[in-house]
Amino acid sequence: MGFNARGAWSIYTRELMRAMRTAFQSILSPVLTTSLYFVVFGTVIGARMEPVDGVPYGAFIIPGLLMLTLLGETTSNSSFGIYMPRFTGTIYELLSAPVGVAETLIGFVGAAATKGLILAAIILGTATLFVDYEIKYPLFAVGYIMLVTASFSLFGFILGIWADSFEKLGIIPLLILTPLTFLGGTFYSIDQLPEPWSTIALANPIAFLVSGLRWTFYGTSDVSIWVSLGLTLGFLALCTAVIAYIFKTGWRLRE
Amino acid sequence: MNETILEIEGLTKVYSGGVKALDGVDLTIRKGEIFALLGPNGAGKTTLIGAVCGLVRPTGGSITAFGHDLAHNWRAARARIGLVPQELSTDMFETVERAVSYSRGLFGHPPDKARIEEILKSLSLYEKRSSQIRELSGGMKRRVLIAKALAHEPELLFLDEPTAGVDVELRKGMWEQIAALRERGTTIILTTHYIEEAELMADRVGIIRAGRILMVDNKDAMMQRMGTTEAVITLSEPLPQLPETITQFPVTLSEDGRELCYRGGDGSGSGSEEVAVLTKALIAAGIDYRGIDVHDSSLEDIFVDLLSAEEAA
Contact B74 A98 (CB under 8 A): yes
Mean pLDDT of chain A: 89
Angle at B16 between CA B15 and CA B19, to 5 degrees: 45
Q: 10 Å Cβ neighbour count for B67?
A: 11
Predicted confidence (pLDDT) at residue A155 exceeds the cutoff of 90:
yes
Residue in B with minimal Cα distance to A98: B75
According to the model, what pLDDT value does residue A96 have?
94
pLDDT tens column, A53-109: 888 988 999 999 999 989 998 998 899 889 999 998 999 999 999 998 899 999 988
Mutate to test the interface with A, among B46, B69, B75 (most CBs of A within 10 A): B75
pLDDT of residue B267: 66
For residue A47, pLDDT over 60 is answered with yes
pLDDT of amino acid B32? 92
Please name the member of B57, B106, B109 whose beta carbon is closest to the beta carbon of A99: B106
Mean pLDDT by 10 residues, chain B (313 residues): 88 92 94 90 91 94 94 92 90 92 95 92 90 90 91 93 75 82 90 78 89 86 75 90 87 89 78 88 90 79 72 69
User: What average pLDDT does this structure show over A162-191?
Assistant: 87
Single out the residue of B89, B162, B100 nearest to residue B125, CA to CA: B100
Chain A interface, Cβ < 8 Å to B: 1-2, 4-7, 9-11, 14, 17, 21, 88-90, 92-100, 250, 254-255
Per-residue pLDDT of A219-242, as tens digits, reads 988 889 999 999 999 999 999 999
- Show residues of chain A in contact with B98, CB under 8 Å: 17
- Interface contact flag, B110 A255, Cβ < 8 Å: no
Torsion, CA A44, CA A46, CA A49, CA A55, rounded to 10:
-160
The Cα–Cα gap between A174 and A165 comes to 15
**What mean pLDDT is predicted for residues A140-154?**
93
Residue B191, H or E segment: strand B187-192
pLDDT at A244 over 60: yes
Q: What is the ipTM of this complex?
A: 0.85
Of the candidates A172, A174, A152, A145, which has an alpha carbon nearest to the alpha carbon of residue A63?
Answer: A145
pLDDT for res A143: 93
Judging by beta carbons within 10 Å of its beta carbon (0-12, 13-18, 19+), is residue A209 exposed, middle or buried? buried
Q: Which residues of B touch A98 (CB under 8 A)?
A: 74-76, 78-79, 107-108
Question: What's the confidence (pLDDT) of residue B1?
Answer: 55
Size of interface A-B (CB pairs under 8 A): 77
Q: A144 to chain B, minimum CA–CA distance in Å?
A: 31
What's the CA gap between A75 and A94, in Å, rounded? 21
Nearest-Cα distance to chain B for A246, in Å, is 13
In terms of CA atoms, which chain B residue is nearest residue A101?
B75
Bridge pairing between strands B156-160 and B81-84: parallel
How many Å apart are CA A193 and CA A41, to the nearest integer? 19
Which bin fits A220, alpha (ψ -120 to 50), beta or left (φ > 0)? beta
Which pairs with CB-CB distance under 8 Å and at least 24 residues apart come from B282-291? B282/B233, B282/B246, B284/B245, B285/B243, B285/B245, B285/B246, B287/B235, B287/B239, B287/B243, B287/B246, B288/B235, B288/B236, B288/B237, B289/B233, B289/B234, B289/B235, B289/B236, B289/B260, B290/B234, B290/B235, B290/B236, B291/B233, B291/B234
Nearest CA in chain B to A91: B89
Question: Taking residues A6-12, what's their average pLDDT?
Answer: 95
**Residues 67-96, chain B, touching A (beta carbon < 8 A):** 74-76, 78-79, 81, 83, 85, 87, 89-93
Query: Are A255 and B79 within 8 A, CB to CB?
Result: no
pLDDT band at A194 (very low <50, low <70, confident <90, very high): confident
Give pLDDT, residue B154. Answer: 94
pLDDT of residue B14: 95
